[in-house]
Every structure is written in structure tokens, then in C-alpha cells.
Amino acid sequence: MQKTLTQINEKIDEGNESDISGEESHFQFALAQIILDSAYPRVADVLKQSHKSLQGLNMKEVILLDSQSTICVFCNKKLLATINTAKSPLRLRSNGGTMLLKKTATTENYDQEVWYSPNAITNILSLKNVKKQYRVTYDSDDSYFVVHREDCGLPNIIFREHESGLHYYDP
């Protein structure tokens, strides 16, 4: 299955070296999913069963704390202080597709720049980067992360676990 998905992604990349909008990248991911469904229906069924619904979670309005991300990406302008053109673009590849990021931004009370694209599907803070500035703890009994900011005179931020398994903060 992995080999087939890799081949599909390579074919998509070969024919698509220009900017890829979020809509196009999600279409490509959906196309790959259709191919997976037809070629490997049992595997596709297992994958679908392992993902719970994101119902009740407005992905454009919340911020996710992601332990697997190595960069921070935002799609919601309202959550940003400034937006600037990047010195050089970044090609982001994820399970949602490929996207060329050309803008960086700043957010309040966060020292690092984040990437910005209105085509991103959500706002993501990388746990790897957040812990460079703030202490982060996890409460496994109640299933939430705490970004400790009290030493800076700021309230802590709690990222609660959604039924899908994503940890989110709704500002």
C-alpha cells in the first residue's frame, strides 16, 4: 500500500511542479484515496474505521498542537499579528497533499515565526517548537496538554483532546 501511495504522489508531483493551491492538493489526496479504496478495499476500510469524525471542530478557527509537525502553519488571519512575504518559499508535504508556502507571520506571545497560507486546512503549532519557548506537560488522566505561560505573566493554554485524537485550543 505504501509503495502504491508513493508512486501516486510521485506522479502527481511530476505533473505539478508549479504552485499547488490547497483545493488542488486536497483533490489530489481525495483522488489517491479513491485509488486506494478501489485497489485495496480492506485496507481502506480499516483506515476509515481508525479515524473518528471531526464533527464539532471548526478546523479554521482552532489551533492544533501537533507532536508530529516540525513547522507551525496557520490559515486564519485573525489569529496572526503580522503577515510577511518569506525570504524563500517552503514546499510543505503532508497527508493532505503538497502546498507551496510563501508567507510567514507572527502571533502574539510566541517568539517564532509561523508559516501562513489561507489554503491550509487548519492552524498548527508544532509541539517541537512550542516547547522551545514554554514548558509543556500532558495530563493523561484528563487527556490534555498544558502550555505553561504563567512565568511570563500569561494564562496557560490548554489543548484538549477531541474525540478524533487531535489536541486543540479554541481561542
Looking at per-residue confidence, does 47 or 61 come out higher?
A: 61
Q: Where is average pLDDT lowest: 14-18, 31-35, 114-118?
A: 14-18
In this prediction, residue 99 carries a pLDDT of 93
Q: Give the pLDDT band (50/70/90) at residue 95.
A: confident
In this prediction, residue 146 carries a pLDDT of 98
Q: Give the pLDDT band (50/70/90) at residue 56.
A: confident
* pTM, two decimal places: 0.69
In this prediction, residue 8 carries a pLDDT of 66
The rounded distance, in Å, linking the Cα atoms of 109 and 15 is: 41
The rounded distance, in Å, linking the Cα atoms of 102 and 7 is: 27
Rounded to an integer, the average pLDDT of 152-167 is 95
Looking at per-residue confidence, does 43 or 13 come out higher?
A: 13
Task: Flag whether pLDDT at 91 surpasses 90.
Answer: yes
Task: Flag whether pLDDT at 14 surpasses 60.
Answer: no
Residues forming a β-bridge with 92? 99
Positive or negative torsion for Cα 49, 51, 57, 60? negative
Q: Do residues 69 and 122 touch, judged by C-beta distance below 8 A?
A: no
Task: Flag whether pLDDT at 13 surpasses 80.
Answer: no
CA nearest to 123, candidates 139, 107, 137: 107
Count how many Cα atoms sit within 13 Å of the Cα of residue 85 in the half-sphere of its side chain.
Answer: 1
Domain ranges in the chain with CATH number 2.40.70? 63-169
Q: What is the DSSP pairing of strand 73-74 with strand 110-116?
A: parallel
What CATH number matches the domain at 63-169, 3.40.50, 2.40.70, 3.30.70, 2.40.10?
2.40.70
Cα–Cα separations (whole angstroms), residue 118 to 99, 121, 131: 11, 8, 25
